[in-house]
Amino acid sequence: MPEPHRPAPALEPGELEAMLAYWRAANYLTVGQIYLQDNPLLRRPLVPGDIKPRLLGHWGTSPGLSLIYIQANRLIKRHGANLIYLAGPGHGGPSIVANVYLEGTYSEVYPAISQDEEGVRRLFRQFSTPGGIPSHVSVPTPGSIHEGGELGYVLVHAFGAVFDNPDLVALAVVGDGEAETGPLAGSWKGVRFLDPTRDGAVLPVLHLNGYKIAGPTVLGRTSDDGVREQLEGHGYEVRFVEGTDEVWVFTELAAAMDWAYGRIREIKQAPPPVGDRRWPAIVLRTPKGWTGPRVVDGVQVEGTFRAHQVPLADVQTKPDHLQQLEEWLRSYRPEEIFDRAGRIDPRLRTLAPVGDMRMGSNPHANGGRVAAPLDIPDFHDYSVDVTAPGVATRESTRQLGELLRDIYWRNPVSFRLFCPDETSSNRLGAVFEASDRCLETSVLPTDDHVSPRGRVMEVLSEHCCEGWLEGYLLTGRHGLYASYEAFAMISASMTVQHSKWLEEARKLDWRAPIASLNILLTSTCWRNDHNGFSHQGPGLIDTMLSKKGSVTRIYLPPDANCLLSVADHCLRSRDYVNLIVIDKQPQPQWLDIESAVEHCRRGASSWGWAGNESAGAAPDLVLACAGDIPTLETLAAADLLRRRLPELQFRVVNVVDLMKLPPADRHPHGMSEVSFRELFTESSHVVFAFHGYPGGIHGLVHGRPQPERFHVRGYMEEGTTTTPFDMVVRNGISRYHLVLEALRRSPRTPPGASELAEYCSEMLDRHRSYIVEHFEDMPEVRDWVWSQGG
């Protein structure tokens, strides 16, 4: 590996020696976690019984992560930097745990992992073992806000952490395997949204060790000039550090870190014009598995993909491997690191910061510690005046936009909206009365609400939008991510990982609760008729239904007032992933604000004004609905039944909180068995119109009495560029389909039933020919309004 052409500046000799010793200590603790269950300080020769029966973990990236961590400690000590550390190569988990242990934070958080020989033994035994900790940087790791198992998101989390956080520097280590992912490739543009006076700074360290799991990496095989050109094109000024000599790399990296922090301070104190602004980035090239076994069984390991996980895999069965492991461990000179009691040499401890300056203890990495409540205006003030069901028509999300506008005004440094270039499209444009779109660029006269000082975050990347919000939340702030429904699946894996993070965080008393991840899905499958099949898909609902109920919530408000009530609840909540689904197009408004609040409090309730049941008697059947368009079609079906079959007794039930449907022992929001029977009766058939895939409802009501009586109609992957009503017809959820289903499920056949069935079939036939000829829906559909008289 070539050395840089310029001479390296020198560290103080004593400082360099101490840092190298600290690195040996971190590497020793890393290897010990992967291999040892006993004899943690090598007080005697290793025997097979000292080795864990299952060897799990990742060595290859760990020496580089420790090297950077130690250099970051120096930056904090020398310059007083407020620094958090995000490890993109998250499977280097043992190295981060080792460094948090060395700085003392780990033992403070977990007293059983004490600063002595028994503590080291427990540190080793807990790693990647049942009842212990994962192999990657994750929730139990103090100082982490980043789930290391999900490659591609380290930079977006880092940028989210520093927005509105002017004193914070997020050091983000990007692995060269991670650098190949689409989300990471798109996230370099974060500097184009960073305001030097309002925000903190992100310091990317692109760590190139040449290999991923089994092959070389693209950037690892790219020349320095090629890497530099890529990063400079994104707006960075780059310094390279590379070599195989420990003294050289330590000294050179220290100089690079000083340079980077100095450039950050210069930019923040006197920001250059946006066109001339280049934030610092470091590219570090070191061998994969550095300081580990160079050759195993005659095959090169260090500096190759073979160092990625466990370089010596057969230490229990091959004596030469066991001997090689002991030589590897002793090469770090543990007798110089630990005293006889197993305590770390006090001279090494002085290299780490103290108190909350330690990266494992930084309050921003435990965001609930610094979070302030969101100042939310009274949502009643934004309600729609509903004098009777179905009379008023509104774009429901526009009412939410007005609420969000005022939240922006009241929370100028702790709330942001993140949306992929769809804020106005999703009818949330009122927020631009409070803040512009953020973009660090020159502003043209043709631009609309664009400013470097803007705080509405629009970028055409769902990964960036959700990742920025996650980083923002994890460091103690609040926000909302709004997306076209179908495209929320692009970032679905991030939503899943965040829900898992919250699930695990709830088990840790020391992790303070953070604001919930609130996701608004609009431009939904039922009203993306103009965009077509590619824009039609409610899949995120199913994805979140598979997650544990302690964390996930799914709300389907049928109108604006319900949306306001749900949004207020979600924005005040902590430690949840809240999915809110409602369309942006004009739609009937059903409930006045007080009725909406009570309906949302219940989560599901009978709309007596819409049904046709006699008091005191069980209805013939139940018409249930969840979602705005299913609600519209269900009420249109109810209108037909009331007018054409007045003898048929039916109840209309609307569900706004989807998690009310499962039994209470499966979800904390699940209604009691008594309440479920009261709402859906004990035996009546239920015709259920659902916003998403029908299987979702079937799964939720599994375990309820006679679940086979639920007949669900929902999205069936039928779509195209067509009329709004044709979308519900194609998927069998139209008012005419619902009436036909109700007639099939009714326990009796009232007079006029066959005529009504024939009418519905004729209307479906007429619909198909009408839209082909006229390119719009029939007047009977377009002009339908709820019949108050029944």
Averaged pLDDT in 10-residue chunks for the chain of 790 residues: 44 90 98 98 97 94 97 96 93 94 98 98 97 93 87 95 98 95 96 97 97 93 96 97 96 96 97 91 97 96 94 94 97 96 94 97 97 97 97 96 98 97 94 97 94 95 97 98 95 95 96 98 88 89 90 97 98 98 97 98 97 87 98 98 95 98 92 96 96 96 94 94 95 98 94 96 97 96 82
Name which of 414, 408, 482, 475 is nearest 160 in CA terms.
475
Asked if 575 and 644 count as a contact pair (C-beta separation under 8 A), the reply is no
Q: Look up residue 116 and give its two tokens.
A: 């002595």
> What does R_g of the chain's alpha carbons equal in angstroms?
30
Paired tokens of 741: 């289903």
Residue 273 burial (C-beta neighbours within 10 Å; 0-12, 13-18, 19+) = exposed
How far is residue 611's CA from residue 639's CA, in Å, rounded to a whole number?
9
> What is the pairing mode between strands 478-484 and 457-458?
unpaired
- CB proximity list for 762: less than 8 A, separation 6 or greater: none
> Which of 410, 405, 446, 441 minimizes the C-alpha distance to 423?
405
Q: Is 16-365 a CATH 3.40.50.970 domain?
A: yes
User: Model's pTM, two decimal places?
Assistant: 0.96
**603-782 placed in CATH 3.40.50.1370:** no
pLDDT of residue 386: 97
168-175 and 236-242 as β-strands: parallel, antiparallel, unpaired?
unpaired
For residue 579, the surrounding DSSP H or E stretch is strand 577-581
d(CA 130, CA 294): 31
- Distance, in Å, from the CA atom of 234 to the CA atom of 237, rounded to the nearest integer, reads 9
Cα(33)–Cα(313) distance, integer angstroms: 14
d(CA 356, CA 687): 57
Give residue limits of the domains in the chain: 16-365, 379-383+392-587, 603-782
What tokens were used for 540? 């995120």
**Best CATH choice for the domain 379-383+392-587 from the list 3.90.1150.10, 3.40.50.1000, 3.40.50.970, 3.30.160.100:** 3.40.50.970
CA gap 137, 93 in Å, rounded: 4
pLDDT at residue 10 in the model: 59
Q: Does this chain's domain 379-383+392-587 share its CATH topology with 603-782?
A: yes
pLDDT of residue 317: 92
**Residue 708 is encoded by which pair of tokens?**
């086979």
| CA 428 vs CA 395, 568, 770: distances in Å | 10, 16, 34
Contact status, residue 649 vs residue 684, Cβ threshold 8 Å: no
Confidence at residue 147, expressed as pLDDT on a 0 to 100 scale: 82
Q: Which residues of 199-235 are buried (b: 16+ CB within 10 A; e: fewer)?
A: bbbbbbbbbbbbbbeeeebebbebeeeebbebbeebb
d(CA 284, CA 172): 13
- Rounded to whole angstroms, the Cα distance separating 170 from 234 reads 18
Longest CA–CA span in the chain (Å) reads 99
Residue 457, strand partner residues:
418
Contact 171, 69 (CB under 8 A): no
Q: CA distances (Å), 379 to each of 410, 522, 706, 748, in order?
A: 14, 20, 39, 45
**Are 141 and 93 spatial neighbours (Cβ–Cβ below 8 Å)?**
yes
Interatomic CA distance for residues 80 and 354, integer angstroms:
11
